[in-house]
Amino acid sequence: MHSIQIKTSAKEAMIDITARLEELLKSRETVSGLMTVYTPHTTTGLTINEGADPDVCRDILAHLRSIIPQHAGFRHAEGNSDAHIKATLFGSSVQVIVHEGRLMLGTWQSIFLGEFDGPRTRTIWVTFTG
C-alpha cells in the first residue's frame, strides 16, 4: 500500500491527483493490473471526470453548492453536513485499470480528490492488484 499526502487550500476544491498516481506507477514492478485509490476521510471524495477544461470542475462545485448549501438547517453539530453529503455523492474510492505501466483513462479523464471541508492535509491510500 502507498500513501499520498495532499494539502488542500480551500473549503471546497477538486484537486487533480492523476500525475501523483502516475508517479507511483513508475516505481512498480507490476505494470498491469488494477489500481485502487481510496480516501479515508468523511468529507472528501474521489471521482474520475474531465481534466482538460477546468470549467468542468468549477461547474461541478458550483452546482453541488447550489443543491447542497452549507447552511441548510442540518442537525450535525460540527456544521459540515454539506461536506459529508457531497463526499457521499462522490464516493470514497475509484479503481483504474493499469496496462503496461499506464493508467487506462479516457482521453479527457483525470482522477480528482474532492475537498469539501478544507483547507486540510488529506491522505490518499493506493493499492495495486495484478
- pTM of the complete model: 0.94
In DSSP terms, which residues pair with 53 in a beta bridge? none
Whole-angstrom Cα distance, residue 2 to residue 45? Answer: 18
Band the pLDDT of 96: cuts 50, 70, 90.
very high
Average the pLDDT over 72-97 and give the result: 92
Greater confidence (25 vs 8) lies with: 8
Residue 27 is predicted with a pLDDT of 79
92 pLDDT tier (thresholds 50, 70, 90): very high
The domain limits of the chain are 2-129
How many residues are there in the chain?
130
Q: Predicted confidence band at 119 (pLDDT cuts at 50, 70, 90)?
A: very high
* Residue 121 host element (H or E): strand 121-129
**What is the per-residue pLDDT for 28?**
76
Residue 54 has pLDDT above 70, yes or no: yes
Torsion sign across C-alpha atoms 78, 114, 82, 61? positive
What is the mean pLDDT of the segment spanning 54-74?
A: 93
- The grid cell for 40 is 479515508
Q: What is the pLDDT of residue 72?
A: 78
Higher-confidence position of 126 and 26: 126
Q: Is the pLDDT of residue 36 over 90?
A: yes
Structural class in CATH, domain 2-129: mainly beta
